[in-house]
A and B are shown apart, each in its own frame.
Chain A
Amino acid sequence: MTFRAERAGGGLDESNSLDLVCATASVRSGALLDEAVSDRTRERLEGLAATLPDVFGTVDPTCLDRIAERLGGKPGDATFVEILLLSDTKLHVIQPLAGRPGVAVVAACPANSSIGLVLTAIRARVGDWEAR
């Protein structure tokens, strides 16, 4: 399964075989940052992007640190690196960019997609997004 080249504005073309759309968004404001995404992509991702301030602003990092400690993990890396939300019809992904603090990739595709392939597709683009 291959992807077509992403659009100039940074969002993956929604016509790819996974029907995956993704773009970058501000974690603080919840606004999409890729200006050139198509209207359809914007429509599919705007709602998800708008939730970022709530999703990331309401978690106490020290709490995650303490839970990490109880789970045998190492405290000090108390930020969610990936969040997946699933329903019977849709899969949504949020992935903060480690190289661009305050920016996250938001993505959506049908629920019958292979999650592994979706994550691979998103991660393949992370380098480009982080370089911007």
Chain B
Amino acid sequence: MSVEAEPSRVLPSIPASPGLIASVLRLLAFVDDLPFGATGVLDFGEQGLILLESRKICWAVARCMRLRLTDILRNQSTPPLPREAVEEIYRRCKGNGKPIGEALVTSGLVTEAGLRVALFKHNGEAIAHLAGSGMAPNGFVSHTRTGYDPKFSFSPGEVLAMLGSLDDPARALAAQIELGNTLVPDSFGAAFVRSSTSAGALIIAVDRACDLPVSDLLEVCNWTAGLFDVAHTFDPEASLALATWGGHLALVAWRSKDVTYLGLCASRAAAARLVSRLESSSKSSGVIATAARYREPV
């Protein structure tokens, strides 16, 4: 029996409040402010903790959470995983100190994709609860113990996108697929919408290579949103933008329905490849076809 990935399933126990994203942003800023490569525990006292490895979120727990990881894992499959089998692995892990999720994958009860989805939900819910409590962390306790598989850890941007996706999980999943199909090597990116639940851009998808601090990611999303806003005054149909800076770096932004995508490229060649890929995936768009002719003049 294996667990199928269901990234679009909404987390029912995340407290849905207008201030959720703002409070999560404040919390994730603590993670982003840690030194590069920080490994240890962001301690919230009795309220909970966030375990980090190389500044990525491996595990988070909040006292008031209603669902445990094992509950999420069990309920992700149909029929649910047998409780006894899961609890047996849990007991074994408690004894040998290994992460339970990875032991479940090894046992064949859960797929890697299923575990990642479950951890994403679990950690996202914990962070939402910790953020909702309004507590700042007591401090960061650094340690050298590592061992979490990077496949099962999440950047602050990914967590933010997961919470941003709650409004419309299907739209967020489509955006995630679009990013995955479009971004090229030497680029990373995100997708966002305008929403009343956030002051500016609401990030709904982030590709895994994007490790920008959430404040910088939001800044560039808001700038991109503003660029299309002002472009609307002289060309309401403008739907693709290319901006270059720093000699060879480029930002490619494109809009599809109400979602705006951006790809940050380490070279102009990467930007050209990204635009070319947009053309091949959007044959009907005259805008993209035009942009595909973008080549640096000799």
Contact between A82 and B244, CB atoms less than 8 A apart: yes
Contact between A116 and B296, CB atoms less than 8 A apart: yes
- The 7 A-B residue pairs whose C-beta atoms are closest, nearest first, are A47-B234, A87-B237, A120-B297, A51-B230, A88-B286, A73-B246, A71-B266
- A91 interface hit (Cβ, 8 Å): yes
Q: Which of A1-9, A18-26, A31-39, A55-63 contacts B (4 or more CB under 8 A)?
A: A55-63
When chains A and B are docked, how far (Å) is the Cα of A89 from the Cα of B226? 21
Contact between B240 and A86, CB atoms less than 8 A apart: yes
Cross-chain contact of A85 among B226, B241, B248 (Cβ < 8 A): B241
Contact between A79 and B290, CB atoms less than 8 A apart: no
When chains A and B are docked, how far (Å) is the Cα of A114 from the Cα of B236? 21
- A130 interface hit (Cβ, 8 Å): no
Q: Mark B202-222, 1 if CB is under 8 A from A, else 0.
A: 000000000111011001101
B222 CB to closest chain A CB (Å) equals 8
Contact between B246 and A47, CB atoms less than 8 A apart: no
Chain B binding surface, main DSSP class: mixed
Hey, which chain A residues are within 8 Å of B235, CB to CB?
47, 85, 87, 89-90, 92
When chains A and B are docked, how far (Å) is the Cα of A94 from the Cα of B211? 29
Cross-chain contact of A48 among B234, B266, B285 (Cβ < 8 A): B234
Q: Mark A46-74, 1 if CB is under 8 A from B, else 0.
A: 01101100110011100110111011111
Hey, which chain A residues are within 8 Å of B145, CB to CB?
none
Question: Which bucket holds chain B's interface residue count?
Answer: 35 or more
When chains A and B are docked, how far (Å) is the Cα of A66 from the Cα of B214? 12
Question: Which bucket holds chain A's interface residue count?
Answer: 35 or more
A22 CB to closest chain B CB (Å) equals 14
A56 CB to closest chain B CB (Å) equals 10
- Name 14 extra pairs, CB < 8 A, besides A87-B239, A120-B297: A50-B234, A58-B222, A71-B266, A73-B248, A73-B249, A79-B245, A83-B243, A85-B238, A86-B239, A89-B235, A90-B235, A91-B290, A114-B293, A115-B293
- B20 interface hit (Cβ, 8 Å): no
Cross-chain contact of B246 among A59, A77, A123 (Cβ < 8 A): A77
When chains A and B are docked, how far (Å) is the Cα of A59 from the Cα of B233? 19
Interface residue ranges of A75-132 to B (CB < 8 Å): 75, 77-92, 111-112, 114-117, 119-120, 123
Contact between B223 and A58, CB atoms less than 8 A apart: yes
Cross-chain contact of B237 among A64, A72, A88 (Cβ < 8 A): A88
Cross-chain contact of B233 among A47, A70, A112 (Cβ < 8 A): A47
Contact between B246 and A111, CB atoms less than 8 A apart: no
Hey, which chain B residues are within 8 Å of A87, CB to CB?
235-240, 287
Hey, which chain B residues are within 8 Å of A83, CB to CB?
227, 241-244
Cross-chain contact of B297 among A67, A89, A123 (Cβ < 8 A): A123
Cross-chain contact of A54 among B213, B226, B298 (Cβ < 8 A): B226
Cross-chain contact of B212 among A58, A67, A91, A123 (Cβ < 8 A): A67
Contact between B248 and A54, CB atoms less than 8 A apart: no
Question: Nearest CB to that of A90 among chain B residues?
Answer: B235
When chains A and B are docked, how far (Å) is the Cα of A114 from the Cα of B295? 9
Query: Which one of A54, A64, A86, A112 has the highest number of Cβ atoms from chain B below 10 Å of its Cβ?
Result: A86
Contact between A84 and B242, CB atoms less than 8 A apart: yes
Task: Provide a sorted-by-A list of 14 A–B residue pairs whose CB atoms are within 8 angstroms.
Answer: A54-B226, A55-B226, A66-B216, A67-B249, A68-B245, A71-B264, A73-B246, A85-B238, A86-B242, A111-B287, A115-B291, A116-B295, A116-B296, A123-B297
A66 and B213 in contact, given A55-B227, A78-B246, A89-B237 (Cβ under 8 angstroms): yes
